[in-house]
A and B are shown apart, each in its own frame.
Chain A
Amino acid sequence: MTVERLFDPVRIIERFGEAVEDLGAAHGIRAFAVPPERIVEFCRFLKEHPALEFNFLSDICGVDHYPEMPRFEAVYHLYSLPNKWRLRIKCRLGDPPEVPSVTGVWRTANWHEREAWDMYGIRFEGHPDLRRIYMWEGFEGFPQRKDFPLRGYKDKLNPFGAEGPPPTQPDLATREIP
């Protein structure tokens, strides 16, 4: 049994007006679409507003809508511990996907953003340590993108992979390990 707990979005619309699009509520969570350049401001507002207090960041995830354009999306799930509300923020991104990092708002965003970078190649500007998190250093391509084959690309370590050259996107996050 789920209790629908919705909150009044009037404060958000008052403050952000046209910049934020209300996507309505479904399955107990209200969603907002925010342009990438205002994401940090929007998150900080939600976190610090005394009547909203979305102080808990549940999750950040990347989505690939290939071949739709704009292709990528960063989705944030927020929770308000005092009010027990959930909220979803969606942020459509072009190709190559770039969005400001919210690590300054919640420290927990650090690994979530690293995961989205690793799997989808979404660059989080201002992230203190944007390295791959699951795949090894030097891995090429972003495995959860829709155009990445399920079994990976064929090479000497992976004889069962798909034919074709691996993507040659420059892996900017690969650094020397200490």
Chain B
Amino acid sequence: MTEVTELTRPEGEALNTKEVLLNLGPQHPSTHGVLRLVLELDGEYVERVDPHIGYLHRGTEKLAESFTYTQIFPLTDRLDYLCPPSNNLAFALAVEKLLGIEAPIRAQYIRVMMAELARISGHLLITGALPMDLGAMTALLYVMREREMIMDLLEMITGARMHTSYCRVGGVREDLPDEFFPKIREFCEVFPNRIRDYERLLDNNRVFLNRTQGIGVISPADAIDLGLSGPNLRASGVDWDIRRDEPYEIYDRLEFNVITRQEGDCFARWQCRVDEMRESIRIIEQCMEQMPEGPFQIDMPTIAFPVDKDKVHCSMEALIQHFDLSAYGFDVPAGEVYSAIEAPKGELGFYIISDGSPKPFRMKVRAPSFVNLQALFGVSNARYLADMIAVLGSLDPVMAEVDK
């Protein structure tokens, strides 16, 4: 690393300095969406940063109060749009807890596999976007190639590339198609080599290393105090992963490592994500091996659509069930639940209060990006403006999730 030499002011010469207010965003390539930062600058140093958010606020929580539980799935897609399947999963789990049901084992495997595909897709973008913010454009083009493979897989299963809405309360919408299995095997084979390619591009890239190593260090105590979760917390050396510590679905049957780094700087946060993609591939491979045959949707006429869709056309009961579920939804017992999963960005929690009706009385989304973005206060005091871009990129906020 190059030494930063302090410029000394000539003796006796008064220099007029003035603090400058700089407005960064809301439209700026490095803010990853519509984020506006009001920066108080002293020369090149950032004295204070005040993020203004809410440019993408859609009132998801208010809207959810007037939607039935099934209608809320598309809303959750639009939270963290880089990885909708894990948002769907978090919501489905919360409602299932309230109902006291569990999805069939095959559905659980499918959901976990989808959530891990989503994790890879989310982490891929940051793998390429952080270097791009710092001037290394190449990696982004390569990660987009692999992201396209995941998009194709998602399209094959769900029919949608981005907003999948694939989970349902008590299972998933449809079973996996046959042509999916060879494709995912091919992906699992190819992808680890591609990760090595990214590392070859960036691990020895002097510019990238100088801009990220030792920059924006967050101590473990600070990270916990600031409520960081996910890779951002683990990069500071705190070993916490909800998949392992409060296993949901079938994560307790799978073997995977929880990646931690001790440095807590931007590079550690970036590297954590790259290594997590390898673990995700391992999880997907295990899911493929262990996945049993069986139903993909719980057999409960009051909650789930009929599995055999042809029945709707020839059975009166199935038709009524289908109509009732579409028009009215299903009642959820009164109660409160907070259910959290390890989303790609961190702890994604849904707090739902039900009053016994088919619509939630209150739904609160504990969005990991919202909390992680707050850490900008904690790290970027009195650092260079250029470092702040690196810190922001490495915290990996998705503005749709920040603004809800």
Contacts and interface: CB of A to CB of B under 8 A. Distances in A.
B351 A108 contact: no
A29 interface: yes
Interface stretch (A10-18, A36-44, A130-138, A155-163): A130-138
B353 A86 contact: no
Interface in A140-178: 143-144, 150, 177-178
Given A56-B227, A81-B240, A134-B57, A178 B62 contact: no
Given A86-B338, A111-B371, A56 B224 contact: yes
B349 A77 contact: yes
A26 interface: yes
Contacts of B362: 61, 63-64
B349 A58 contact: yes
Contacts of A57: 227
A84 B247 CA distance: 11
Given A26-B336, A58-B349, A59-B366, A2 B225 contact: no
Contacts of B225: 106-108
A135 B351 contact: no
Interface string A89-108: 00000000000000000111
B89 to A, nearest CB: 14
Contacts of A81: 224, 238, 240
A150 B64 CA distance: 10
Interface in A98-133: 106-108, 110-112, 115, 119, 132-133
A161 to B, nearest CB: 13
B302 interface: no
B335 A27 contact: yes
Interface residues of B, number: 46
A24 to B, nearest CB: 11
Contacts of B336: 26-27, 31, 88
Interface stretch (B25-33, B132-140, B248-256, B379-387): B248-256
Nearest to B222: A107
Nearest to B353: A63
A81 to B, nearest CB: 6
B366 A58 contact: yes
A111 B61 CA distance: 16
Contacts of A106: 225, 227
B265 interface: no
B192 interface: no
A111 B370 contact: yes
B339 interface: yes
A3 B53 contact: no
Contact of A77 (B21, B61, B240, B351): B351
Contacts of B349: 58-59, 77
Nearest to B362: A63
Contacts of B240: 81
A2 B248 contact: yes
Q: Which 3 A-B pairs have the closest CB atoms?
A: A108-B227, A134-B54, A61-B364
27 contacts: A1-B247, A2-B97, A2-B246, A3-B246, A5-B246, A26-B335, A31-B336, A56-B224, A57-B227, A58-B340, A58-B349, A59-B364, A63-B362, A64-B362, A75-B364, A77-B338, A77-B351, A84-B246, A106-B227, A107-B378, A108-B227, A112-B371, A133-B53, A143-B62, A144-B61, A177-B38, A178-B21
Interface of B: 21, 38, 53-54, 57, 59, 61-63, 66, 97-98, 102, 224-227, 238, 240, 245-250, 252, 335-340, 347, 349, 351, 353, 362, 364, 366, 370-371, 374, 377-378, 403-404
